[in-house]
């Protein structure tokens, strides 16, 4: 079956611009996560959605970051007024239910010039 997909695969933007990153989770998975991996670093948790519950936003690094999940499926991560330190690979993962194994998408490589 189809795995987690993310778009775009690469995004180059200028400092100060807004960007939107998209994640399509595996069908039927109720939990969705966003992580980012900066150069030379491990994966850093950003935000978590579980069903219709309020998302856990505890990992978002600043108020320039926001995410939504429409209809319990597709999710969009928005970064406003991008900064160079936002450059990273942004990874989305989904799982059947919270504690279960997470399946990752290929990521979006964001470069802020």
Partner 1 sequence: DQQVKQNSPSLSVQEGRISILNCDYTNSMFDYFLWYKKYPAEGPTFLISISSIKDKNEDGRFTVFLNKSAKHLSLHIVPSQPGDSAVYFCAADGGTSYGKLTFGQGTILTVHP
Binding footprint of partner 1 on the chain (CB under 8 A): 4, 31, 33, 35, 40-45, 48, 50, 56, 91, 93, 95, 98-107
We find the least distance from the C-beta atom of residue 43 to partner 1, in angstroms, to be 4
**Residue whose CB is less far from partner 1, 28 or 99:** 99
| Helix residue spans in the chain (DSSP H) | none
Supply the minimum distance, in Å, between the C-beta of residue 15 and partner 1: 25
Q: How far is CA 54 from the centre of its chain?
A: 16
Residue pointed to by tokens 């450059």: 87
Nearer to partner 1, 22 or 103 (CB): 103
d(CA 83, CA 102): 29
The nearer residue to partner 1, 41 or 70, going by C-beta atoms, is 41
Closer to partner 1 by CB, 82 or 102: give it. Answer: 102
DSSP assigned state of 98: T
Cβ 91 to partner 1 shortest distance, Å = 6
Provide the token pair at 51. Answer: 């069903």
CA distance 64 to 39: 20
d(CA 69, CA 25): 10
Smallest separation (angstroms) from partner 1 to the CB of 112: 20
């Amino acid at each position: 079956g189809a795995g987690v997909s993310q778009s775009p695969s690469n995004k180059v933007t200028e400092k100060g611009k807004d960007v939107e990153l998209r994640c399509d989770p595996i069908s039927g998975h109720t939990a969705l996560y966003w992580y980012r991996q900066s150069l030379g670093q491990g994966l850093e948790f950003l935000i978590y959605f579980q069903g219709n519950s309020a998302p856990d936003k505890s990992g978002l690094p600043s108020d320039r970051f926001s995410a939504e999940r429409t209809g319990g499926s597709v999710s969009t991560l928005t970064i406003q007024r991008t900064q160079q330190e936002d450059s990273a690979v942004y990874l989305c993962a989904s799982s059947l239910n919270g504690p279960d194994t997470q399946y990752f998408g290929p990521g979006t490589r964001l470069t802020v010039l």
